[in-house]
Amino acid sequence: MSLLTVGSVAFDALETPFGKTDKIIGGAATYITLSASYFTNKNNLVAVVGDDFPQEMITNLQERNINTEGLEIRKGEKTFFWSGKYHNDMNTRDTVEVQLNVMENFDPQIPESFQDCEFLMLGNTAPAIQKKVIERLRTRPKLIMIDTMNLWMDIALDDLKDVLKLVDVITINDEEARQLSGEYALVKAAAKIGEMGPKTVIIKKGEHGALLFHGGHIFFAPALPLEEVFDPTGAGDTFAGGFIGYLASTGDVSFANMKRGIIYGSAMASFCVEKFGVERLFELTTEEINQRIAQFVQLSAFELEV
């Protein structure tokens, strides 16, 4: 089934203990759509960039079967830019610079051919924009998933609560889940967030894995213990893209299938961090993905009869 991803396509400049990049391609929607492209070939993108965005990169996305008809290119304007520096533990980072540029008045237009999308992924942007996307779809998708961040809890909490009423799945990291719910224990946090709208709550714990809460059930997927994390940028978005891409490819939104989606998402995220930016997400093979999935099975499988 078809997937529509809406969110940022950006330039990033990164510094990690392993090195430094110039402006490279980033943005939540870029990671999401690339990750999903390994699962579904009905992969539609709505985003905005400036005319400084390289045509070559758009071609690269198209070559991965991503439909870029909804990628607006604004003449005379500049692409959203973020630069960040990771600390030595790779778990924490400082934002060095943000230039909103075209994102300042992102007004997502949905091409007619995208109107029939069955899965909608709202990458992290202002909640009011996320809501606008839902309103502009004539038919409600089978599944709407949203990502957000602490910034919107600080400056646009009412908007965020508004859009949460309209979605099925939220991905959120542990600290953000605590902030949004006011609860420290993640079980309680997930329950409170579920009451705000999304029936399915996915709490991302980075190197500590992810928790899926749905209908009173809890599923936990570990992150793969890695020898090196080269660049964690986009890992959460890549996880979300693998998850919803897998759901879209199967058309199955049952809890059992969501568990599989979480494993696929975790596998994709484990590739993402191996190189700078989206580099790894352009070069994967099905065989590599299947091998990694097998590692996840090995990592968490045990046999025990009570």
**Which residue ranges make up the site for its own copies (CB under 8 A)?**
88-89, 184-188, 205, 208-209, 211, 217-222, 225-229, 256, 259-260, 262-263, 290, 293-294, 297-300, 302-304, 306
- Cβ density class 255-266: b for 16+ within 10 Å, e for less: eeebebbbbbbb
Distance in Å, CB of 252 to its own copies, minimum: 12
Taking CA atoms, 196 is separated from 44, 164, 199, in Å, by 28, 6, 9
Helices (H), the chain: 28-36, 55-63, 127-136, 150-155, 157-164, 174-181, 186-195, 235-250, 255-272, 286-300
Distance in Å, CB of 93 to its own copies, minimum: 16
Closest to its own copies by CB, 11 or 213: 213
Distance in Å, CB of 297 to its own copies, minimum: 6
Closest to its own copies by CB, 20 or 217: 217
Distance in Å, CB of 261 to its own copies, minimum: 10
Taking CA atoms, 150 is separated from 39, 63, 140, in Å, by 29, 34, 27
DSSP classification of residue 262: H
Closest to its own copies by CB, 107 or 303: 303
**Helix, strand or coil, per DSSP, at residue 74:** strand
Closest to its own copies by CB, 133 or 223: 223
CB 283 within 8 Å of CB 38: no
Distance in Å, CB of 253 to its own copies, minimum: 15
What's the rounded Cα separation, in Å, for the pair 60 and 150? 32
Taking CA atoms, 48 is separated from 6, 54, 71, 74, 133, in Å, by 9, 13, 6, 7, 14
Distance in Å, CB of 145 to its own copies, minimum: 19
Closest to its own copies by CB, 11 or 38: 38
| Positive or negative torsion for Cα 99, 102, 104, 109 | negative
Closest to its own copies by CB, 59 or 255: 255
CB 87 within 8 Å of CB 229: no
What's the rounded Cα separation, in Å, for the pair 35 and 28? 11
Closest to its own copies by CB, 13 or 289: 289
Residues 6+ apart with CB under 8 A from 268: 35, 38, 238, 239, 241, 242, 281, 289
Distance in Å, CB of 293 to its own copies, minimum: 5
Closest to its own copies by CB, 182 or 225: 225
Distance in Å, CB of 264 to its own copies, minimum: 8
Residue 8 is encoded by which pair of tokens? 């940022």
